[in-house]
A and B are shown apart, each in its own frame.
Chain A
Amino acid sequence: MLVKGIADGWWWVLTRLGLSRHRWQTLPRLTRRAVKAVVWVGLGLLLVALFGVWKTSALAIAAVVLALVVPPWGKVTVRGRPVGKAILPVAVLALAITYPFYGVVSSMPQLPIFGPVPQMSTMVGMAVFTMMALGLNFVVGYAGLLDLGYVAFYAMGSYMAGWFASAQFAKQNVNFGGIGIAPGVTGFHFSIWLVLIMAGIATAIVGVIIGLPTLRLRGDYLAIVTLGFGEIMPQVARNGDSLAGFNLTNGTGGITPIDGPGFGNWLHHHLGLPANYLTLGTNADRVFFWTALVLVLLTIFASARLRDSRLGRAWVAIREDEVAAAAMGVPLMRTKTWAYATGAFFGGVAGAYYASYNGGAFPDEFFFNISVFILCMVILGGMGNIWGVIFGACFLEYLDREGLANIGAWLNGHFGPGGSDFELWRKTLDVPLYEFGIFGAILVIVMLFRPEGLIPSSRRAAEFREGVHDEPLFDVEEHDERLYTPEPT
């Protein structure tokens, strides 16, 4: 309602200035896109300048955005083959791969408000959470099942790494490709690469076990059951130091240290791959980051291929209309269970990798908040759209690790006690403390004003605009037409 009001007012002003809505829509697409991009970027620059945080880097960012968004890259062809669609992803990937070389905090110019560019450890976190968000996207974005307990898969993956790549089970002594194990250390020590796969498979099995009895339930009941599992898992982890006298999870202390990844000496000598990540010193983070990027690329590949596969189309069919899908012969249970297992798989792999990076699996990482955090990434970016989810994950993880603290420092410096602009509040505002309220506000605002997310998948957007039949057939709902009518574009 509010949005429509603003839009109407905006068009009223423009019509008075000689640009009616009709005339705007008859302009060529390129012109419209260029004008839109310039207006938005200009607005952003204006805001930055108004707030007195002008940094030259803002201009550079604006130039990059305009260059990427305005030209119709999608139409570029090489010998008749449409390569244009790949330009944006390849550019982003190239920027990401080379980030460790130029993204040094001290040498890069600071961003307006956000402060210094992200550190390497944050970049690793962004990559890992991208993977988790993409995993959740299988469940929420593709199959349309709300999973509020995704953190359970993350925890499962982390503990798999804890069990099979640390000294947790000291009575056993198995070394299967483990790297950098000090002599005399017992326990399971599998190669991390193997552990990643084991974690993925084990987590997928857990996903199936959770899914089989509960996927019969519809919508919100499923959400609450997954939430229940998401709450049980960490509690088992916290209390698991004496399960009938058996120390499974080492309780609140967590399992630490967990072995680092590495390729071993043979590969190191013959291919130049790092033998053991943990002995690389200051370069360790960048190797961890590149490895995480490889994992993310694999996840993206799996996401894109599965989305277009028979299974992926079945997911979308179920999401849009379960009854119709069932009538068309889509096996509901099997299809949903596959969505669950696939999502869980990537959550498990990401969890195991992150545990290896952090050197431990600690039960206080696995709260409901993290489930909502990952859900927020998927929703902010755009459910069902790979690029949207990646954006959401990177942005929110960055906010979580550094962004909010930086913004808080900036706010306090300018408006806080003794601030340089004017004093709005007397006590130092602890912005990261309000992190989850901010994420909650993001959820509400996105759902109210742009439910398809910032970078929507066109199909999902249509569902939100036109409504879907996710109701049982005999349960007719009242449709409030104010927000959910298709708008002329």
Chain B
Amino acid sequence: MATHAQTEAPIRLRRSPVSYVMPVLATSLVALLFVWLAINFVKGPAYFVTISFIGLTNGAVYALVALGYTLVYGILELINFAHGDVFMLGGMFSATMVLSVFHLSAGASTGSLAAAIVGSLFVAMAACGVLNATIERVAYRPLRGAPRLAPLITAIGMSFILEDVAIGWKGPSYTAVPNVLPRGQVFSISGVVLTWEKLIVIIITVPVLLALIWLVQYTRQGKAMRAAAQDRDAAAMMGIDVNRTISFTFLLAGALAGAGGLVYALYFGQIRYDTGFQLGLIAFTAAVLGGIGNLPGAVLGALCIGFIQAFNEGLRWHTPGSDWTQSIVFTILILILVFRPEGLLGERTPEGA
């Protein structure tokens, strides 16, 4: 082979002029973003940091949902549109648990609050995990060998069905969750304010993420998942029950969505049947931004999106404002897919070639 290569003239692929312009354009866009952030920071450092805390909290919620997208995409290469709606149902489960089962109200004592949150967390995670695995069994598994569009379309269909389940359950208007989380200040240092509810979101999210990392990296089941994600046929030949592994992945993704739902319901205080769809799209963008199929990437992407959203809605100097958040997020999605389909941390896949 090597001798052949030497005798042939070197092949120079013709690159279109567009391919030279694009990286320059992308780099300048990112540079502009950082300049804008820097000016905003200089204009009010303390305020900037306070807004960053909001971004961190948003990012934590997005991370829980984005991980579900990335887990499923990693193993099946399927964009699970129904995932956002599983998350939404998780939020409704938790709202019901917190209000009707644990009878929590604003200003509850720390002990009962912790017990209620942990209890609801487990119930929501279990319920959503089972729901997600059931969806996979019913709607995606029979389409395993079909053209790729088929499971994608079923996923959209499932998403709408789940939304209707929510409408039938809670009605078409917002379900309000009273402020059960304490809203007091943790600290306030020269204008930098961190409030309790944000800290609690982080306190719930981080152990869940750590548990996920442990599960994927250090257990047999996690090893099976990684193997099946790399090469399903080879994994099957090595004695891994691929179908069971996929079911387990969906279970895991659903459990994360359930945890996200709980955090969302408690932190934002209201949830509606279409919450999941909107947030799901944002979370999916986060997963793509980080590199879909890449777990740390999903968390990183979610934090980026969370910060961008918070800065856009909170900062004062030349911000488009919350009316434009979705447009900005989707523009980011499109730009990422066009300029760098492998995401921030991902590897080049055939999808992006």
A1 touches B157 (CB 8 A): no
A218-B337 contact given A447-B157, A451-B146, A478-B242, CB 8 Å threshold: no
Q: For residue A379, which residues in chain B have a CB less than 8 angstroms away from its CB? A: 153
Q: For residue A214, which residues in chain B have a CB less than 8 angstroms away from its CB? A: 334, 337-338
Query: Does any Cβ of A come within 8 Å of B284's Cβ?
Result: yes
A443-B156 contact given A231-B326, A474-B350, A478-B145, CB 8 Å threshold: yes
| For the complex of A and B, 6 pairs with smallest distance between CB atoms | A437-B164, A440-B160, A443-B157, A228-B330, A479-B145, A444-B157
Stretch at the interface among B5-13, B136-144, B202-210: B136-144
Query: Does any Cβ of B come within 8 Å of A439's Cβ?
Result: yes
State which size class the interface on B falls in: 35 or more
A447-B338 contact given A218-B350, A235-B326, CB 8 Å threshold: no
A interface vs B, CB < 8 Å?
A: 1, 144, 146, 148, 213-214, 217-221, 223-225, 227-229, 231-232, 235-236, 238-239, 368, 372, 375, 379, 433-434, 436-444, 447-448, 451, 463-464, 467-468, 470-472, 474-484
A229 touches B341 (CB 8 A): no
A220 and B160 alpha carbons, distance in the complex (Å): 18
A479 and B143 alpha carbons, distance in the complex (Å): 9
Partner of B333, one of A228, A436, A438, A481: A228
Q: Output the least CB separation between B102 and chain A (Å).
A: 28
Q: Output the least CB separation between A262 and chain B (Å).
A: 37
Partner of B324, one of A148, A213, A235, A483: A235
Across the two chains, which residue of chain A brings its CB closest to B243? A480
Partner of B337, one of A225, A436, A470: A225
Q: Output the least CB separation between B174 and chain A (Å).
A: 16
A221 and B333 alpha carbons, distance in the complex (Å): 10
Q: Output the least CB separation between A241 and chain B (Å).
A: 10
Q: For residue B44, which residues in chain A have a CB less than 8 angstroms away from its CB? A: none
A444 touches B146 (CB 8 A): no
> At the interface, is chain B mostly helix, strand, loop or mixed?
helix
A471 and B159 alpha carbons, distance in the complex (Å): 25
A471 touches B148 (CB 8 A): yes
Query: Does any Cβ of A come within 8 Å of B152's Cβ?
Result: yes
* Number of A-B contacts defined by CB within 8 Å: 166
Q: For residue A372, which residues in chain B have a CB less than 8 angstroms away from its CB? A: 156, 160
Q: For residue B233, which residues in chain A have a CB less than 8 angstroms away from its CB? A: 476, 478
A444 touches B161 (CB 8 A): yes
Q: For residue B275, which residues in chain A have a CB less than 8 angstroms away from its CB? A: none
A214 and B288 alpha carbons, distance in the complex (Å): 15
B interface vs A, CB < 8 Å?
A: 77-79, 139, 141-154, 156-161, 163-165, 167-168, 172, 232-233, 236, 242, 277, 281, 284, 288, 323-324, 326-327, 330-331, 333-334, 337-338, 341, 350-353
14 more contacts with CB within 8 A, not counting A447-B146, A451-B146, A476-B233, are: A220-B149, A225-B333, A229-B330, A232-B326, A372-B156, A434-B167, A438-B164, A441-B157, A444-B154, A464-B150, A467-B145, A467-B147, A475-B350, A482-B142
Q: For residue B165, which residues in chain A have a CB less than 8 angstroms away from its CB? A: 437
Q: For residue B350, which residues in chain A have a CB less than 8 angstroms away from its CB? A: 218, 472, 474-475
A442 and B160 alpha carbons, distance in the complex (Å): 10
Q: For residue A441, which residues in chain B have a CB less than 8 angstroms away from its CB? A: 157, 160-161
Partner of B351, one of A218, A238, A433: A218
Partner of A468, one of B147, B154, B164, B337: B147
Q: For residue B151, which residues in chain A have a CB less than 8 angstroms away from its CB? A: 447
A368 and B330 alpha carbons, distance in the complex (Å): 13
B161 touches A440 (CB 8 A): yes
A448 touches B139 (CB 8 A): yes
B149 touches A219 (CB 8 A): yes
B78 touches A220 (CB 8 A): yes
Q: For residue B150, which residues in chain A have a CB less than 8 angstroms away from its CB? A: 447, 451, 464
Q: Output the least CB separation between A399 and chain B (Å).
A: 14
A368 and B160 alpha carbons, distance in the complex (Å): 11
Q: Output the least CB separation between B328 and chain A (Å).
A: 9
